[in-house]
Amino acid sequence: MAQQTLQEPPAATTGRRRLRWRPRSTFGRHALTVVVAMVAVMLVLEFTSPFRNSQLATMSYYAIAAAGLTVLTGVNGQISLGHGALMAVGAYTTGLLLGPDGDGALPLPLIMLVAATVTALVGTVVGAAAARLHGPYLAGATLALAVAVPGLAIYFDHTLGGEQGLRIASPEVPGWFDATIYFLFAHETPSAKYLAYLGWGTLLLVLLLLANLMAGRVGRVWRAVRDDEVAAELAGIRLGRVRVLAFVVSAACAGLAGAVLGVVVRLAAPSGFTIVLSLGLLTAVVVGGLGSLVGALLGSALLVFLPPAVTNLGTAAGLDGTQAAQLAPFVYGVVLVLVMLLAPTGAVGVFTKVWRKR
């Protein structure tokens, strides 16, 4: 009796050959994605206007904070309304170390790392205090943090600048960076473009680290606690420790975002870290898609690009400047309500659903 051999279909063989170039490890795939994204960012920054560069720099620190909030809210299931205050900790730490004239003793990357570390320590204290709180109680505790931290800047006005805020020097463009960009694109690197490069380089590094963390054992534990606390506890998972770790990681991202915000805006003032900022970050995470880093990017883009577009449309429709500016928050609220009613999984969830149907 002739022996039969099983052969793979030609389509399966072709598909395997097409995917052979992809790295096998999770970190390798994420690193390759980040490299491709960095090339795309460089092309966008080099061929857009300085105004767009400043908008992209703003989007970068929003996205860093939103990515950290995605870990806390979307992956671990904790609601936070205090991430604006954590960003304030990072911004003020950067301002104190860098100084108003840029004469700080530490280089900027190290200052940003210190800002993230200090904010992570604050997140440790807040996370430990809120480890036993759930739902609206946790939201209320973090809301108190969002209200209290800006008030500290006013109380310690001699050190933190009070209502006027703390001036932060804009970093100079390093010579090697300017020479590299000129060699690649034959363009000079003004300050606005360098800040956009700084923000997006930091953002892509954060996304790489968070993507690998969420894809590993830590991410699976976070999801287990989010989905069923009783089953997770029966499996031997320490709920308090897991929640504190998620809060620390999220706080470190918020502190890093605050550091980028400080050098981009060149100011750390209480008016820039109100509850509106925390609500905006939470809204960006919900609209983009809970638990998705791509959703954090999409929600941050909506935060940055939707208000100016709506304001311009209102002005073109005959509204004055004040009315057009008030129209933007209204439209953003309408978009949020529609997303919650029609697409509770966010923009990424809708795209994934359509892709699976195809």
Residues 166/95, Cβ–Cβ less than 8 Å: yes
Distance between alpha carbon 122 and the CA centroid of its chain, in Å?
18
pLDDT of residue 1: 44
Which one, of 155, 146, 166, lies nearest residue 86 by Cα?
146
Q: What average pLDDT is seen over the chain?
A: 85
Which one, of 250, 272, 219, 279, lies nearest residue 126 by Cα?
250
Residues 225/245, Cβ–Cβ less than 8 Å: no
Q: Does 104 have pLDDT greater than 70?
A: no
Banded pLDDT at 8 (limits 50, 70, 90)? very low
CA distance 210 to 295: 14
DSSP 169: P
Backbone angles phi, psi at 267, to 5 degrees: -160, 140
Above pLDDT 70, what percent of the chain? 92
**Selected residue with higher pLDDT from 323 and 142:** 142
Backbone angles phi, psi at 6, to 5 degrees: -95, 125
Residue 135 structure tokens: 């739902």
DSSP 74: I
For 132-162, what is each residue's pLDDT tens digit?
777 677 778 888 888 888 888 888 888 888 8
pLDDT of residue 315: 84
* E strand or H helix that includes residue 275: helix 275-288
In angstroms, the Cα distances linking 238 to 174, 247, 291 are 46, 15, 21
CA distance 125 to 129: 6
Banded pLDDT at 308 (limits 50, 70, 90)? confident
The CB density around residue 98, as the number of other CB atoms within 10 Å, is: 27
DSSP string over 216-231: SHHHHHHHHHHH-HHH
Q: Does 341 have pLDDT greater than 90?
A: no
Question: Which residue's structure tokens are 């304001």?
Answer: 311
DSSP 272: G
For 221-246, what is each residue's pLDDT tens digit?
999 988 888 888 888 888 888 989 99
Banded pLDDT at 23 (limits 50, 70, 90)? confident
Banded pLDDT at 291 (limits 50, 70, 90)? confident
CA distance 130 to 26: 33
Banded pLDDT at 20 (limits 50, 70, 90)? low
For 172-205, what is each residue's pLDDT tens digit?
888 899 999 989 888 888 988 999 999 999 999 9
Backbone angles phi, psi at 68, to 5 degrees: -65, -40
pLDDT of residue 102: 66
Residues 268/207, Cβ–Cβ less than 8 Å: no
Q: Say whether 1 sits in a helix, a strand or coil.
A: coil
For 264-285, what is each residue's pLDDT tens digit?
999 999 888 888 888 889 888 9
The mean pLDDT of 78-93, rounded to a whole number, is 91
Q: Say whether 166 sits in a helix, a strand or coil.
A: strand
pLDDT of residue 144: 84
pLDDT of residue 6: 45
